[in-house]
Amino acid sequence: MRVILPLAVLVVALFAASLLIGPAAIGLRASLHALVTGEGEAVVLVMREIRLPRALLGLMVGAALGLSGAAMQGYLRNPLAEPGLIGVSPAASLGAVVAMQTGLVAMFAPALPLAALLGAGLSVALLFVLAGPGGGALALILAGVALSALAGALTSLVLSLSPNPFAMMEIVFWLMGSLADRSMLHVWLAAPVMALGVGLLWRTGRGLDALTLGEDAAASLGIPLARLRAQVVLGVAALVGAATAVAGAVGFVGLVVPHLLRPLVGGRPSALLPVSALGGAAVVLAADIATRVIAPDRDLKLGVLTAIVGAPFFFRLIWQMRRGAE
């Protein structure tokens, strides 16, 4: 509770900032007035159709990535597990790109998050088989690197073969992520799939706590391990799939956020889940605001900023692991 309240306040503040900052210079009062009352044609359009969906998606995508990072790290008992780094987000991108290029999305819009969910789900399942609980960090990282290289290459291949000249330029989006020019349509597309993922992961807390004692101990405490695994796989796939389908693969959020917050909740995986969701939302909202402040006319990608902030954490983790091994 001590952690949740300040984080919630931070998220609300960042959400408001995301609504108020943009390339069109609109005054504070004018924008809030237009958002609430719907008066003033152009300003209402900007606030309700452009900035509101962007802020909502920042909140949703960030929470989804933070939560799935915390769940994966809890289940694998490995602080390196991160959807973007070990191939889950790239696999979700691949699913989304295939669904778009085959024309499936044009016929049935929800095919976009569902195909991304399928890609993410397959990759998580594969990772858990290759490096499941008990498997070391090395197995996880090797499997993850291979998976993300493969998924990234296949995504580039599919886009390169597209007859559409713009598809090629989108490789950057699918590998780095962006929230520019999304609409409420994307919010409605992602929301139900994300709700499913949250529902699944929310109930894994007790199981993840028990798992910190080891698999045998957890089993003797009456934790159904097979069911826990299925919940984590599906929950992560739904969250990462929906987030990637609308915002591309945003890396490092699921790594940095749980890592930063873990000491504050005493290392308990169940307490880390809601806190990481809030932390993830704060990081993505802040990164998205930064893209608009630093280079408003350049469409700077979200993943660029999260990687610049996140990579040093990764170095630190590796450094700590090395010192621990010696």
**Chain residues that interact with another protein, rule: CB under 8 A:** 22-24, 26, 41-43, 45-46, 49-51, 100-101, 103, 105-106, 162-167, 169-170, 173, 180-181, 183-185, 296-299
Residue (80 or 112) nearer to another protein, CB:
112
CB of 164: closest distance to another protein in angstroms?
4
CB of 247: closest distance to another protein in angstroms?
11
Residue (75 or 174) nearer to another protein, CB:
174
Residue (178 or 306) nearer to another protein, CB:
178
CB of 21: closest distance to another protein in angstroms?
11
CB of 186: closest distance to another protein in angstroms?
9
CB contact at 8 A, 272 and 66 = no
Residue (259 or 301) nearer to another protein, CB:
301
What length does the chain have?
326
| The amino acid at 237 | A
Residues with Cβ within 8 Å of 252's Cβ and at least 6 positions away in sequence, in order, are: 82, 84, 85, 303, 306, 307, 309, 310, 311, 313, 314
Residue (24 or 318) nearer to another protein, CB:
24
Residue (168 or 221) nearer to another protein, CB:
168
CB of 50: closest distance to another protein in angstroms?
5
H, E, C per residue of 242-270: HHHHHHCCCCCHHHHHHHHHHHHHCCCHH
Q: Quick count: other Cβ atoms within 10 Å of Cβ 282?
A: 25
Q: How is residue 168 annotated by DSSP? A: G
Angle between the 253-261 and 269-294 helix axes, to the nearest 10 degrees?
Answer: 130
d(CA 200, CA 305): 30
Residue (103 or 224) nearer to another protein, CB:
103
d(CA 61, CA 48): 19
d(CA 132, CA 137): 10
d(CA 48, CA 38): 8
Closest CA to 253 of 11, 6, 70, 78: 70
d(CA 58, CA 19): 11
CB contact at 8 A, 254 and 83 = yes
Backbone angles phi, psi at 177, to 5 degrees: 80, 145
CB of 119: closest distance to another protein in angstroms?
16
Residue (7 or 190) nearer to another protein, CB:
190
Residue (48 or 206) nearer to another protein, CB:
48
CA dist 142 → 44, 89, 127, 176 (Å): 49, 16, 10, 21
